[in-house]
């Protein structure tokens, strides 16, 4: 058994920035429990509004871009706060030693990635920026006394009289309780809840169900981000997600007839196009018989030039290793589940509907709405980590002296139940929650999951029960939304709400 002032589930970007800010604010006894680093080491692009941005970027413009990309679904208060505190988060990372790539004249290198009206995406050009952040923050946090427990999976959330009290941890086959008056869910997003995705294996998505079963409200659960530029051919490159910055650098999209199909709906070109628009238009090409032999469309990197591609060494090297010559070959690409815009509902301090349970990064929802600009998952993880730390600091300063009581471990494991039901749960998700959905299929999935849950069998294996609860929440949200909006496309309701054209989002005052 362990006790802490703040217990954080996860060791990715949201967890690390939360711990960094808590440390700066003088909070003692902070502990992180994680079983890997989630999507963080893969982050190539992260957006911040910098005053020195030559493209005259402002928090207001960033707010507008986020609301527009979110198809009006995002919570304006959360988005406004994220835009307003973007610079503070960048400065927090700089204080902890994070270096961002610079141009020859010393200015910060800014890239133009999908969904932004100006270049505002920061990076590293020798390694991934996510790796840079981990390499700087992890040793510095340990040096300042923060406990980082690796190889730990949080398997249950503890509550007491309706407030957060800690969590149950599984490590090396042992279970133990961690008690804390302030708990941060920073366990990432959907992960591999229903099979194939770009997520690493340590993010499982059952955590959404864990939070829901503990009584936390969830939001925007129907919005799964499908990365549009994932290679589906040639063989060696399959699964490789091309950065959307490739379109900002001059790469273009073509159908099997060589046409730049996006220009018909976006005459200004591919640069900055939202992921949902790319996915929808690519699908139309495939449906019209203008797709490639593997059911995708083509990413043509040839206009970019080798020198620019060398600024993305992890990407270029993987292409070359797969036998792809970007000066000669086009990549056949298609969408793959990549990140999640829904999650635990939070207020502007990132506190959930359970007092003392905070959620940051991909674990929480409400910011991205129906779709997000590229690079904004990383920004959101960093900003929300910082803001939840400030929320905890304010709550602790209020003189709350809650000490959680000890409680028995409720988590249960039954390998037979897991083997019997979990593959079917994954299959239901994969079949019903693709990029195009329809009401009948969603309803069938819900009925089957309801049936499984009602049998009581799933209660013998908490992980399976949590996974079913997570999937059920997503299916229900997808059934409820009888329209196509952002990343959620209903074949039985194909039209995106015509009333929303992205311009009616109010510009934030700050
Ligand atoms: C291949 C790939 C490329 C990406 N590229 C970009 C990009 O360029 N720009 C961008 O903005 N976003 C990108 N993303 C998305 C981005 O990585 C995530 O949105 C971001 O890392 C979220 O940060 P997080 O801290 O919330 O979650 P994560 O970074 O996913 O970290 C989650 C943490 O929780 C831990 N965890 C999970 N379950 C449990 C559990 N039960 N108990 C304890 N710990 C647990 C994980 O091990 C990990 O430590 C990419 C994602 C992938 C998969």
CA 221 – CA 470 distance, rounded (Å): 9
415-490 maps to CATH 3.20.20.100:
no
Ranges 89-98, 141-150, 205-214, 233-242: which has the least confidence? 233-242
227-337 maps to CATH 3.90.700.10:
yes
- Which of ligand 1's atoms lies nearest the C-alpha of 155? 41
Ranges 22-36, 124-138, 187-201, 411-425: which has the least confidence? 187-201
What confidence category does residue 76 fall into, taking pLDDT thresholds of 50, 70 and 90?
Answer: very high
What rounded mean pLDDT belongs to the chain? 93
- The encoded tokens of residue 409 equal 């471990």
**pLDDT value at position 234?**
84
154 CB within 6 A, ligand 1: yes
Output the pTM of the full model.
Answer: 0.92
If you ran DSSP here, which 8-state letter would residue 54 be given? T
Q: Do 339 and 363 touch, CB atoms closer than 8 A? A: no
Q: Which CATH number fits domain 2-152+341-397: 3.60.15.10, 3.30.1780.10, 3.30.1300.10, 3.50.50.60?
A: 3.50.50.60
Distance (Å) from CA 189 to ligand 1 centroid:
7
362 CB within 6 A, ligand 1: yes
Q: Give the residue extent of every domain in the chain.
A: 2-152+341-397, 227-337, 415-490
SS (H, E, C) 305-320: CHHHHCCCHHHHHHHH
Distance (Å) from CA 381 to ligand 1 centroid:
9
Q: pLDDT per residue over 391-406, tens digit each?
A: 999 999 988 889 999 9
Under 8 Å CB-to-CB from 411, ≥6 apart: which residues? 155, 156, 168, 170, 175, 462
pLDDT at residue 323 is higher than 50: yes
**pLDDT value at position 235?**
82
Check the CA dihedral 68-73-76-80 and report its sign. negative
207 CB within 6 A, ligand 1: yes
190 CB within 6 A, ligand 1: no
Under 8 Å CB-to-CB from 189, ≥6 apart: which residues? 39, 199, 203, 205, 339, 340, 343, 362, 363
314 CB within 6 A, ligand 1: no
**pLDDT value at position 497?**
52
Distance (Å) from CA 36 to ligand 1 centroid:
10
10 Å CB burial of residue 495 (0-12, 13-18, 19+) is exposed
Q: pLDDT per residue over 463-482, tens digit each?
A: 999 999 999 999 999 999 99
- Which of ligand 1's atoms lies nearest the C-alpha of 47? 11
- Which of ligand 1's atoms lies nearest the C-alpha of 187? 34
- Which of ligand 1's atoms lies nearest the C-alpha of 13? 25
**pLDDT value at position 8?**
99
Farthest-apart Cα atoms in the chain, separation: 68
């Amino acid at each position: 058994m362990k006790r802490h002032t703040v217990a954080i589930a996860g060791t990715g970007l949201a967890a690390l920035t939360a711990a960094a800010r808590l440390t700066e604010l003088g909070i003692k006894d902070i502990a992180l429990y994680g079983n890997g680093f989630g999507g963080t080491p893969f982050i190539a692009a992260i957006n911040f509004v910098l005053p020195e941005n030559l493209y005259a970027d402002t928090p207001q413009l960033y707010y507008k871009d986020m609301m527009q990309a979110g198809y009006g679904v995002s919570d304006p208060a959360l988005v406004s706060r994220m835009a307003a505190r973007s610079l503070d988060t960048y400065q927090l990372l700089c204080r902890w030693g994070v270096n961002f790539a610079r141009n020859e004249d010393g200015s910060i290198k800014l890239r133009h990635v999908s969904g932004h009206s100006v270049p505002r995406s920061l990076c590293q050009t020798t390694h991934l920026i996510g790796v840079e952040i981990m390499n700087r923050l992890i040793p510095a946090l340990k040096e300042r006394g923060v406990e980082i427990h690796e190889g730990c999976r949080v398997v249950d959330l503890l509550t007491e009289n309706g407030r957060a009290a800690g969590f149950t941890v599984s490590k090396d086959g042992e279970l133990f309780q961690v008690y804390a008056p302030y708990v941060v869910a920073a366990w990432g997003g959907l992960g591999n809840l229903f099979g194939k995705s770009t997520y690493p294996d340590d993010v499982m998505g059952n955590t959404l169900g864990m939070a829901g079963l503990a009584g936390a409200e969830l939001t925007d659960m129907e919005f799964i981000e499908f990365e549009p530029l994932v290679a589906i051919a040639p063989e060696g490159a399959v699964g490789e997600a091309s950065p959307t910055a490739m379109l900002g650098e001059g790469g273009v999209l073509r159908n099997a007839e060589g046409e730049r199909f996006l220009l018909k709906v976006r005459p200004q070109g591919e640069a900055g196009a939202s992921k949902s628009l790319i996915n929808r238009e690519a699908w139309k090409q495939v449906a019209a018989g203008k797709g490639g032999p593997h059911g995708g469309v083509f990413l043509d990197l040839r206009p970019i030039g080798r020198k620019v591609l060398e600024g993305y060494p992890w990407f270029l090297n993987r292409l070359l290793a797969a036998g792809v010559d970007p000066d000669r070959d086009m990549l056949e690409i298609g969408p793959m589940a990549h990140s999640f815009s829904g999650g635990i509902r939070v207020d502007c301090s990132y506190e959930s509907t359970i007092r003392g349970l905070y959620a940051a990064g991909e674990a929480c929802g409400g910011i991205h709405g129906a779709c997000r600009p590229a690079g904004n998952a990383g920004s959101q993880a960093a900003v929300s980590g910082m803001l939840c730390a400030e929320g905890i600091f304010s709550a602790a300063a209020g003189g709350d002296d809650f000490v959680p009581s000890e409680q028995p471990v409720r988590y249960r494991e039954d390998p037979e139940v897991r083997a019997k039901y979990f593959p079917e749960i994954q299959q239901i998700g994969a079949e019903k929650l693709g990029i195009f959905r329809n009401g009948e299929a969603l309803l069938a999935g819900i009925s089957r999951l309801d049936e499984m849950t009602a049998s009581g069998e799933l209660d013998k294996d908490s992980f399976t029960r949590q996974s079913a609860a997570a999937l059920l929440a997503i299916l229900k949200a997808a059934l409820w939304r009888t329209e196509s909006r952002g990343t959620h496309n209903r074949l039985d309701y194909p039209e995106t709400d015509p009333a929303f054209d992205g311009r009616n989002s109010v510009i934030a005052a700050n």
